[in-house]
Amino acid sequence: MPPRASKRLKATAEKAVTATVATTEVKTTRKTTKKTVVQETTVVVEKKTKQTSSETKSAWGALFAKPAAKRGENKGIKPKSVDGISEEVQKKIEEFAKFDGVTKERSPETKWKLVAWNVNGLRAVLKKEDSIHFRAYVAQEDPDVFCLSETKIDSDELQKLEDMLPQYKHQYWSCAAKKGYAGTVIFSKVEPLSVKDEILVDGKTADDEGRFIAVEFDTFWLVHTYVPNAGMKLDRLSFRTEQWDKALLKMLKELEETKPVVWCGDLNVAHQEIDIHDPKGNRNKSPGFTDAERESFSEILANGFVDVYRQLNPETQQYTYWSYRFNARAKNKGWRLDYFVISQSLLSSVESTFVRDAVTGSDHVPIGLELKAL
C-alpha cells in the first residue's frame, strides 16, 4: 500500500506561487455539530524570491500550522522582503571559535550528510538577532539536511526565523497547536520530491503536536520525529507505545514500500542498558526507560530497521542527552535518546555516524549520519 499523501501538501503543490515576496494563504473551514461550530485554521506558506536575474526558491518550503485565532480573526503571517545575513554577522560566524570535533570536511564518497538535534527551544534565536553560536555550529558542520526537534516555535513567530539559515533554500516547519510546545523543522539544501506532515493514530491525525515530518529524496525517505515522552508519571506511556509507536511503524513500512527509509530525531527511549547511566535506578521508573518503551522500539527494529550508532559501536557508552539538573553533563550522567535508524538495505551505504558532544546550547547534542551515493 503506497504512503498516503498529505491533503495539505497536495493543495500547496497544485498551486504555483510566483510572487517575489511571501504569499500567505489562510484556509478556514467549519465543522458543524448539533449545537456547536468548530473552526479550524490551516496556514500554508510557499514563496519565491528573485535575486539578481535568476529566480530561486525561498528559504521556506512549506509551513504547516494551526494558529490560535478567534473566530473571524485572520492572524496569518504577513509577507516581508528577504534581507539575508549582513556582512557583519557573517564575519562573526566565520571568526567564531571552532567546535571540538566538528568539521565540514567529508570523504569524497560521502553523498549525504544528515544532522538531527533536539534544540530545546529556538526562542533564544528570536531574542538574539544574530544568534552567532547556533549559526556558527551549522556553518562549521555544513550538513546537507539539518533536522531540529522541540523547536517550541509558534506559527506567528516563523517570519522572524525566515533568514536564520539562508543557505537552506527549503525549510519545512511543523508547529504544535499548543503554543510553545514540541515542534519540528527540516532544513534542506536539496529540494525534496515530496513532503508529508501527517501521521495517523487510530485513523486520526496525530500531528497536532508538530512531531512528524517526512521528506522524499531521489533515493530515500527521510523521516524526522520528536517522539512523545511518556511523562514523569508515565501517564502517556500507553499512548506512546500502543498508539504512536504502532502508527509510526505502519508509516515507516508504507514508505519503505517505495524507497529505503532514514528515520532520525529525539526518539525518547534509551534502548539498552548501555544507553543510560543508571539503568537499575531508572528501569520502569523514568520515561524513556520502561520495559514497554524499550520493547516497542525493539519491535520497530525487528521489522527490518537498524540503529546505526549501536550497529557500528556495539560496546561504546555514548550519550546524547543530559539533564540540566545535578550537573549531569559535567558528571556524564546521561542518556542516549537521539538516533538514526535506517532500512537494513541502507547499511552498506553508511559512511559514518557521529555524536557532537562538545556542542552546547541544549540539553541534547547534535547527531549525524553520512551516506555514500545510494
**Rounded Cα gap, residues 334 and 68, in angstroms:** 36
**Rounded Cα gap, residues 312 and 307, in angstroms:** 9
This prediction's pTM:
0.81
User: Does some domain include residue 70?
Assistant: no
Q: Which of 128, 130, 144, 233 is nearest to 190 (CA)?
A: 144
Nine-digit cell string for 103:
568539521
Q: What is the mean pLDDT of residues 166-191?
A: 94
DSSP letters spanning 89-122 = HHHHHHHSPPPTT------TTEEEEEEEEE-S-S
- Write out the residue range of the structural domain in which residue 314 sits: 87-372
What confidence score (pLDDT) does residue 8 get? 39
User: Does some domain include residue 311?
Assistant: yes
Contact 161, 125 (CB under 8 A): yes
Cα dihedral across residues 127, 68, 222, 305: positive or negative: positive
Asked if residue 268 belongs to a known ligand binding site, the reply is yes
For the annotated catalytic residues, the residue numbers are: 226, 266, 364
User: Does some domain include residue 337?
Assistant: yes
Q: What is the pLDDT of residues 234-274, one digit of tens each?
A: 999 999 999 999 999 999 999 999 999 999 999 999 999 99
Lowest mean pLDDT among 44-58, 233-247, 336-350: 44-58
Contact 195, 216 (CB under 8 A): yes
**Rounded Cα gap, residues 155 and 227, in angstroms:** 20
CATH number at residue 326: 3.60.10.10
User: Does some domain include residue 54?
Assistant: no
pLDDT surpasses 60 at 195: yes
User: Does some domain include residue 50?
Assistant: no
Asked if residue 218 belongs to a known ligand binding site, the reply is no
Asked if residue 364 belongs to a known ligand binding site, the reply is yes
Average of per-residue pLDDT values in the chain: 81
User: Does some domain include residue 314?
Assistant: yes
**Rounded Cα gap, residues 143 and 164, in angstroms:** 15
User: Does some domain include residue 242?
Assistant: yes
**Rounded Cα gap, residues 183 and 155, in angstroms:** 10
Q: What is the pLDDT of residues 277-324, one digit of tens each?
A: 999 999 999 999 999 999 999 999 999 999 999 999 999 999 999 999
User: Does some domain include residue 275?
Assistant: yes
Q: How many domains is the chain partitioned into structurally?
A: 1
3-class state of residue 185 by DSSP: strand
Asked if residue 363 belongs to a known ligand binding site, the reply is yes
End-to-end, the C-alpha distance of the chain in Å comes to 24
